[in-house]
A and B are shown apart, each in its own frame.
Chain A
Amino acid sequence: MTSHIHERKTVSPYLTFVIVHAMLFGIDFLFLVIKPIQMAGQDAWTGVLLCSVGIHIVIVMMYSILNRHRTDLMHIHIRLFGQGIGMMLNMIFTVYFLFVSVYQVRLFIEVIQVWVFPELKTWSLALVLLLIAYYIISGGFRVIVGICMFSLINTLFFVTIFFMIPYFHFNNLLPAMSHSPHDIFGATKDLTTSYMGIETLLFCYPFIKTPEKSQKWAHWGVLSMTLIYVVEVIFTIITFKTEQLSDELWPGLTKYKFIQFPFVERFEFIGSSATILRLFPVICLSIWVSNRIMKFTFAIRQRKVLPFMLGLVFIATCLIPNRVGVDLVHSWIRQSGISVIFGYIPALFLFDISRTKVKKTK
């Protein structure tokens, strides 16, 4: 029951790095530092490292499951749990990925509404974004990975940190390790949100040429993002006081407020519009995954399902009215993301191992 993907449709293993990078470098990055810093203060960066270790272990588990079955998660579900339960689990994942894309689209529109055009209507921008997403997704997996490449450009925006050097207070990092392990674990748990997105690898697996070789690149992707997160957390700690952060919504954009060029008075307009580079990879991959599951479950052509899925995302996006709504959806996604990454994948891993052991002894 191994799924065969034509080689023409697959990508090279090293592009796993790009996929992981793009999925993790989403719009959430603009405010991922707030909660960990509120919990663990100047020690929040240790939380990033701890969380990264956890994610590496989860990746090892994911690849061990995938390599054993040599197929993607939806086939594995059916193989392990049978038609009924397997289908149900697949549908849960569809809903989860749809929710992720709804949240990301709404978040991007909110950023634009707050920072650039306050009078912009949600539906008009959502319509344009989803039409472009349709164009990209109907191009297939390889085109989506190509779009993911754009998220590498985001790394360039990191240079803007150096405009804040006059405002650095290195004393804020001291005294090191003054928070209790409880606080640090709280921060670690909260940071899992920023590592959400690696679960897409479970579905991209058959689309990678020689997928066993891609594990190393997945690790490199997570490692590079860990570095970026640590740097971001440390720079935020030394620029802002913790009390200041508690009433910021997007510290990642606030830091653009320090930048002034003679020809660009306000860099934050560019910065907030450039978050679109973070948006497309995430929503395209998520919608693609849920689309693929639908195609597999109901055996219909992907092109036919896609407009229907995008319509669902569009309606759901327009139904989230304001900040409070966005926050609510965020907390759902956070909970489900944490339970998928640190609950479901390890459980599946253990179940799979014990199943093969039992089979062997038989």
Chain B
Amino acid sequence: MKRTFCTVLMIGLLLSACAKQQILDKINLFIVASFDEISRDQLEITLVVPRFQAGKPEAVSDELYSKIGNTSTGIRESLRAQMDKPLQPGKLSVVLFGSDKASSGIEKELDVLLRNAFFSRGMYLAVVDGRAKNVLEANFNKKQEKGIFLYHVLDANTKNGTLPSQNLHEFEYALVGKGLDPYLPLIRNDHGRVVVSGTALFKNDKFVATLDSSQSRLMKLLLENVNEGIFEVKLDSGAFLAIENVGSTVKYHMKNEAILISLNMNCKIREAERYSTSDEHLRSLKKQFKEQLHQEETELIKTFQKKAIDPLGLGDFARSRNRHWKEEDWMRQYPTMKVDVDVHVNIMESGIKL
């Protein structure tokens, strides 16, 4: 009895261990992929497959594979015909969308990324100004693998830069959630360099408007608590000053049908240009900075309202404060709604000089 038990257990264990092996040297990983629209129902996918040379850990070259087809998984299948090793999608960390593809909707491609258990929810998505393939073709970095480099560019710009945080999970969250619209970073190929040029705003799954990088920084201030970022202030005298944000907090309030956003910012003077930082001057500087910030933020919100997009999630906020919130009613009143921004600025330090 015991012997039969042991034999059957061993056979079972050995049989169930016969799963497909995937050894790193024998598969093709890709870290970045891009989607471009060719015609109405055809798209082009480009994958960048890193090639490592034995014995030289720093020597990485990239190989581009691209193919046109109807569905993304079908294209992946036909890409396999060009490759020497099986393709493994598990490491995909950056997905780029060409601006044409983004404007005609990316819901189908998102579904592929969300459905497959092998894709991470922390991957970055970005919209490319122009064709996404052009960015991947550019030789922007010789030392690092392109995908890793792009991942680090987006990661650095999100964690301590102008981009509001957005990965696959957050994009889906904003896309399916009621009363908020998603946004993605916008990058472009600037003479062989990859530049993060701003934010792409979406209406549902379609790319409709862009913000430049100073506007994205202003939007980030309204979305989350930020503790970095340089702001230029134009003084009455015409001179420019640079002020660094060392910690801003943002809070939304609902006051009888109007939304009040209160923004509190602690900052440091970075560039004073012989401008004396006496008490009186500081006060006027503070006032000017405050007014400038207030005006810029209000303008930003006005643009959102005009385009009927809601990347700040004001609708979602209103939903959480109002039991009888309806999406249709909200969309009707949103473009003309009153949104106030209340800015408080606190200049804490002026560096190690007066």
- State the A residues within 8 Å of B (CB): 114-115, 117, 119-121, 124-125, 127-128, 131-132, 134-135, 166-167, 169, 171-175, 178, 240-241, 243-244, 254, 257-258, 260, 265-266, 268
Is the pair B117, A117 in contact by a Cβ cutoff of 8 Å? Answer: no
In the complex, residue of chain A having the shortest beta-carbon distance to the beta carbon of B170: A167
| A74 to B261 Cα, complex, angstroms | 65
Residues of chain A with a CB closer than 8 A to B169's CB? 167, 257-258
Is the pair B317, A243 in contact by a Cβ cutoff of 8 Å? Answer: no
Does B91 lie at the interface of the complex (its beta carbon under 8 Å from any beta carbon of A)? yes
Is the pair B91, A265 in contact by a Cβ cutoff of 8 Å? Answer: yes
- A241-B173 contact, Cβ under 8 Å, with A114-B117, A131-B5: yes
Is the pair A124, B15 in contact by a Cβ cutoff of 8 Å? Answer: yes
Question: Which residue of the partner chain, among A127, A166, A244, A258, contacts B173 with CB atoms under 8 Å?
Answer: A244
Residues of chain B with a CB closer than 8 A to A257's CB? 120-122, 169
Does B323 lie at the interface of the complex (its beta carbon under 8 Å from any beta carbon of A)? yes
Minimum CB–CB distance for B297 against chain A, Å: 20
Question: Which residue of the partner chain, among A117, A241, A254, contacts B19 with CB atoms under 8 Å?
Answer: A117
Q: List 17 A-B contacts (CB under 8 A).
A: A124-B15, A131-B12, A167-B170, A167-B173, A171-B316, A173-B320, A174-B320, A175-B320, A175-B322, A241-B173, A243-B176, A257-B169, A258-B122, A258-B169, A260-B120, A260-B122, A266-B120
| A76 to B132 Cα, complex, angstroms | 72
Minimum CB–CB distance for B113 against chain A, Å: 11
Question: Which residue of the partner chain, among A125, A175, A244, contacts B176 with CB atoms under 8 Å?
Answer: A244
| A265 to B119 Cα, complex, angstroms | 11
User: What 14 new A-B contacts, CB under 8 Å, besides A241-B176, A257-B121?
Assistant: A117-B19, A131-B9, A131-B12, A135-B5, A135-B9, A171-B320, A174-B320, A175-B320, A240-B173, A241-B173, A244-B172, A244-B177, A260-B122, A266-B120
Is the pair A175, B321 in contact by a Cβ cutoff of 8 Å? Answer: yes
Is the pair A268, B176 in contact by a Cβ cutoff of 8 Å? Answer: no
Question: Which residue of the partner chain, among B8, B9, B16, contacts A125 with CB atoms under 8 Å?
Answer: B16
Is the pair A128, B12 in contact by a Cβ cutoff of 8 Å? Answer: yes
| A265 to B90 Cα, complex, angstroms | 10
Minimum CB–CB distance for B18 against chain A, Å: 8
In the complex, residue of chain B having the shortest beta-carbon distance to the beta carbon of A127: B12
Is the pair A128, B9 in contact by a Cβ cutoff of 8 Å? Answer: yes
Minimum CB–CB distance for A238 against chain B, Å: 11
Interface size counted on chain B using CB atoms at 8 A: 31
| A124 to B177 Cα, complex, angstroms | 42
In the complex, residue of chain B having the shortest beta-carbon distance to the beta carbon of A241: B177
B 66-92 to A, binary, CB cutoff 8 A, 1 in contact else 0: 000000000000000000000000110
Is the pair B13, A128 in contact by a Cβ cutoff of 8 Å? Answer: yes
Minimum CB–CB distance for B303 against chain A, Å: 24
Is the pair A266, B90 in contact by a Cβ cutoff of 8 Å? Answer: yes
Minimum CB–CB distance for A74 against chain B, Å: 28
Does B162 lie at the interface of the complex (its beta carbon under 8 Å from any beta carbon of A)? no
| A254 to B121 Cα, complex, angstroms | 8
- A268-B117 contact, Cβ under 8 Å, with A172-B320, A257-B122: yes
10 closest Cβ pairs, A-B complex:
A174-B320, A241-B177, A243-B176, A128-B12, A171-B320, A257-B121, A124-B16, A117-B19, A127-B12, A178-B323
Residues of chain B with a CB closer than 8 A to A115's CB? 117
Residues of chain B with a CB closer than 8 A to A171's CB? 316-317, 320
In the complex, residue of chain B having the shortest beta-carbon distance to the beta carbon of A246: B176
Is the pair A119, B176 in contact by a Cβ cutoff of 8 Å? Answer: no
| A131 to B2 Cα, complex, angstroms | 12
In the complex, residue of chain B having the shortest beta-carbon distance to the beta carbon of A248: B114
Residues of chain A with a CB closer than 8 A to B13's CB? 128
Minimum CB–CB distance for B182 against chain A, Å: 12
Residues of chain A with a CB closer than 8 A to B18's CB? 124
Residues of chain B with a CB closer than 8 A to A178's CB? 323
| A58 to B323 Cα, complex, angstroms | 35
Minimum CB–CB distance for B71 against chain A, Å: 19
Minimum CB–CB distance for B220 against chain A, Å: 14
Residues of chain B with a CB closer than 8 A to A114's CB? 117
| A174 to B252 Cα, complex, angstroms | 14
Residues of chain A with a CB closer than 8 A to B170's CB? 167
In the complex, residue of chain A having the shortest beta-carbon distance to the beta carbon of B169: A167
Is the pair B117, A243 in contact by a Cβ cutoff of 8 Å? Answer: no
Does B46 lie at the interface of the complex (its beta carbon under 8 Å from any beta carbon of A)? no
| A170 to B12 Cα, complex, angstroms | 48
Residues of chain A with a CB closer than 8 A to B320's CB? 171-175
In the complex, residue of chain A having the shortest beta-carbon distance to the beta carbon of B91: A265
In the complex, residue of chain A having the shortest beta-carbon distance to the beta carbon of B13: A128
| A265 to B121 Cα, complex, angstroms | 12
| A169 to B170 Cα, complex, angstroms | 11
Interface residues of B in 314-347 (CB under 8 A from A): 316-317, 319-323
Is the pair A124, B12 in contact by a Cβ cutoff of 8 Å? Answer: yes
Does B178 lie at the interface of the complex (its beta carbon under 8 Å from any beta carbon of A)? yes
Interface residues of B in 94-128 (CB under 8 A from A): 117, 120-122
Residues of chain A with a CB closer than 8 A to B120's CB? 257, 260, 265-266
| A128 to B5 Cα, complex, angstroms | 11
| A173 to B316 Cα, complex, angstroms | 11
Which residue of B8, B18, B176 has the most chain A CB atoms within 10 A of its CB atom? B176
Is the pair B19, A120 in contact by a Cβ cutoff of 8 Å? Answer: yes
Does B20 lie at the interface of the complex (its beta carbon under 8 Å from any beta carbon of A)? yes
Does B165 lie at the interface of the complex (its beta carbon under 8 Å from any beta carbon of A)? yes
In the complex, residue of chain B having the shortest beta-carbon distance to the beta carbon of A272: B117
Residues of chain A with a CB closer than 8 A to B165's CB? 166
Question: Which residue of the partner chain, among A117, A174, A258, contacts B20 with CB atoms under 8 Å?
Answer: A117
